[in-house]
Amino acid sequence: MKKLELNIEKEKPYRFNLKDKASLLLKSKSAFIGGIIVSIVVLCAIFAPLLTTHDPYEMDMGKALLKPGEENHILGTDQYGRDLFTRLVYGARVSLHVGIVSVAVSMVIGVTLGLIAGYYGGLIDTIIMRIVDIFLSFPVILLAIALVASLGPGINNVIIALGFVYWTNYTRIVRGNVLSIKEEEYIQAAKTIGSSDFRIIFLNILPNTMAPIIVVATLGIGVAIVSEATLSFLGLGIQPPEASWGWTLAFGMKYIRESFHLSLYPGIAIMITVLGFNLLGDGIRDLTDTKLKRR
């Protein structure tokens, strides 16, 4: 019995230690820059009322399409006379809300199915992975458009649609990790002492798959933000008068010649935010890479 315990301790897989490795995040330029960008966007979303002096929904047709800097409007106004800077700051709330919640939905679906497919294998694994193949056979954005068109526009339906189409990445990654982890000696020992499948899956296997899940989730938030902007641009996403970067960008296209700033600034906001999440995701990937030197 003592020999078995020693083997379990010896074969126990490496677990990422945030306290020991946190310094690596600061050394990663991409993670550092991405973290700063994401932090700024999050703070802008949280403290939007303190950062703006205008009502994001108040219309003043007498001030429509003002140029940046005119009459105390830093970025000008839109076609309804609303302050564009205020609309962009409040739009960060919508984008982050959709991005984070939709990723959470897809993560729950994908991770659960990946754990089940990898652990049980056989027919269950075949069925789940064939469903994944079916989803992957369709362009993701077209599938999202079809779902939103069926459900109707609105922030909740956008979240449901995006969460339902992006779960496949989590399933494939988690399944691959589970297939190797379940063969470890400590998993076999847990089965020998009578641990339930639920306990093994969620207490022994899941913690050792969190590193790639976090990376995919971080990158997925950026993808979800772009997808929400695309749906809103097409008129299927967030509806007026809600502040949405995609919706603002779409309406700005109508005035691209005389007021190009209506499309320029929302596009920059989307680009910088997505860039921040991508850089942060790359940094976290390096941070959680088990091939790095273990301390």
* Span 183-230, pLDDT tens digits: 888 888 888 888 888 999 988 899 888 889 999 999 999 999 999 999
In this structure, what is the dihedral angle of CA atoms 244, 168, 284, 15, given to the nearest 10 degrees?
140
Per the DSSP assignment, residues forming a β-bridge with 77 are 83
The pLDDT of residue 289 is 64
Query: Computed over its alpha carbons, how large is the radius of gyration of the chain?
Result: 23
CA-wise closest residue to 220 among 208, 231, 232, 212: 212
* 3-class state of residue 59 by DSSP: coil
Residue 23's pLDDT is 60
Please state the pTM of the whole predicted model. Answer: 0.85
pLDDT given at position 7: 43
**E-strand spans in the chain?**
none
In contact, 198 and 185? CB cutoff 8 Å: no
Residue 213: the pLDDT is: 93
What's the pLDDT at 2?
41
Domains and CATH numbers, the chain: 34-287 (1.10.3720.10)
Residues of the chain with pLDDT under 50: 1-14, 16, 20, 291-295
| The pair of three-digit structure tokens given for residue 169, joined into one six-digit string | 């990445």
- What confidence score (pLDDT) does residue 231 get? 92
DSSP states along 70-97: GGG-TT-B-TTS-BHHHHHHHHHHHHHH
Is-cis flag, bond preceding 241, omega within 30? yes
**Predicted pLDDT of residue 3:** 43
